[in-house]
Every structure is written in structure tokens, then in C-alpha cells.
């Protein structure tokens, strides 16, 4: 492989990653919208917001569904971050509603 | 909304989240496979593995493409975790190769 060929191949792969990232981002925002709907339902039905058992189910779903190359530990850390950001978003929304 | 209705609605939304999570997971593994190909190309062409400028481009791509509800800061933190896990995977692979 010449350096020119390598650089062209890298470019192509990076474009592919950029597309994948936008698809991941779209799904993350979609997930956030569903979490917001869940929050609204819980609020109306006066159900508890935080349910640790549900979090376990989320981790079970993704670790079972994982076919790699990411390790189970990596998948767990990634979804810990995702859950955490969803919680942050809900907290920010509630603070805004309470201010209003 | 009766408690029964709320619980049924929550179930439906959770099924939806489980599906979204599996789609995110599939994309994350797809991204990992592309990163592995990039690593192989760089190795063959003796190019540097770590390129901070490329990371800036990754963040630019997703913060530009973000339509919310996730905040820009949240998107940045999420993709920091994603990049970090991809790096961990590459490091683990290299260690295995060196052992072999």
C-alpha cells in the first residue's frame, strides 16, 4: 500500500464513521424523546421516577444482544453513560419546569 | 389515566427503548469494526495511531448534526465515552497481538 492509497482509504473509512456517528446521534435523541414521554407518564400517574430494576433490564438487553467486537464491559460502560445523560436531561427539564 | 393505563404505556415505551438500544449497540459495534480497519491501515502504512485533529472533527460532526433534545454538552460527553471505548478496544487488540 502506498502512503497515498493509505490516506485515501483512511478518508473513506472516516466518512463512514461520520455517517455512523450521525445515525447513533439520531438514535440517542430518539431515545431521549421516549425517556421524556416516560417521565411525563410517570409524573401524571405519580409513579416513582427512579427504578433500579429497570436499569438492570436495560443492561441485560444490551449485554445479551452484544455480538462484539466491543466487550461486555465496554457495552456496559457505554450504556451507563447513555442512562446517565438521559437522567441529566430529565433533571434539567424538571428544574426548568419548577422555575417556570 | 388509570394506573393500569400508565403501566401499559410504560411497558410499550420500554419495549421501544430496548429496540433503540439494540440499534445503537449494532451501530457502536459497526463503528468499532471500522476503527479496527483504520488501525490496520495505519499500522501497515506506519502512520501515527493517535490524531487529536481527527477527534476534533468527530466532535464537530456530531455537535453540528445535533437536533436535540440532548444538549451539545451531553452529546460531547457521550462521544467522548464512545471514542474512549474504541481506543480501549484497539489497545486490547494490540496487547493481544504482541503476546501472540
Residues with Cβ within 8 Å of residue A18, at least 6 apart in sequence: B57, B58, B61
Return the C-alpha cell found at B73: 454538552
What is the spatial distance between Cα A29 and Cα B90, in angstroms, rounded to a whole number?
28
More confident residue, A63 or B52: A63
B3-99 carries CATH number 1.20.59.10: yes
d(CA B24, CA A21): 10
Task: Report residue B47 as a C-alpha cell.
Answer: 502512520
In the numeric block, the cell 430494576 is attached to: A53
Q: Examine the pLDDT at B82 and tell me if it is beyond 90.
A: yes
pLDDT at B76 over 90: yes
Q: Is the backbone peptide bond immediately before B69 cis, with ω within 30 degrees of 0?
A: yes
Positions of chain A with pLDDT under 70: none
Note whether A65 contacts B: Cβ–Cβ < 8 A. yes
The whole-number pLDDT of residue A69 equals: 96
- Encode pLDDT of B19-30 as tens digits: 999 999 999 999
Q: For chain A, what are the domain ranges?
A: 3-99
Examine the pLDDT at B52 and tell me if it is beyond 90: no
Show residues of chain A in contact with B79, CB under 8 Å: 21
ipTM score above 0.85? yes
Nearest to A82 among B31, B42, B78 (CB): B78
C-beta separation of B43 from A25 below 8 A: no
Quick check: B92 contacting A, CB < 8 Å? yes
DSSP state of A53: H
Q: Is A79 exposed, middle or buried (0-12, 13-18, 19+ CB in 10 A)?
A: buried
- Rounded to whole angstroms, the Cα distance separating B28 from A17 reads 10
**From CA A47, how far away is CA A70, in angstroms rounded?**
35
E strands in chain B: none
CA distances from B61 to A21, A23, A68, B72, B78 (A): 8, 11, 25, 11, 13
**How wide is the angle at C-alpha B1 spanned by C-alphas A96 and B4, nearest 5°?**
120
Given this model, what pLDDT does residue A73 score? 97
Subunit contact A30:B20, Cβ cutoff 8 A = yes
CB-nearest to A6 from B6, B30, B41 is B41
Distance from CA of B56 to the nearest CA of A (A): 12
User: How many residues are present in chain A?
Assistant: 100
Amino acid at each position: 500500500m502506498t502512503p497515498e492509497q493509505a490516506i485515501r482509504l483512511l478518508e473513506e473509512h472516516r466518512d463512514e464513521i461520520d455517517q455512523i456517528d450521525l445515525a447513533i446521534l439520531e438514535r440517542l435523541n430518539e431515545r431521549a424523546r421516549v425517556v421524556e414521554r416516560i417521565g411525563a407518564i410517570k409524573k401524571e400517574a405519580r409513579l416513582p421516577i427512579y427504578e433500579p430494576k429497570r436499569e438492570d433490564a436495560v443492561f441485560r438487553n444490551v449485554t445479551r444482544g452484544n455480538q462484539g467486537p466491543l466487550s461486555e464491559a465496554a457495552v456496559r460502560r457505554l450504556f451507563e453513560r447513555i442512562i446517565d445523560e438521559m437522567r441529566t436531561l430529565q433533571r434539567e427539564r424538571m428544574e426548568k419546569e419548577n422555575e417556570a
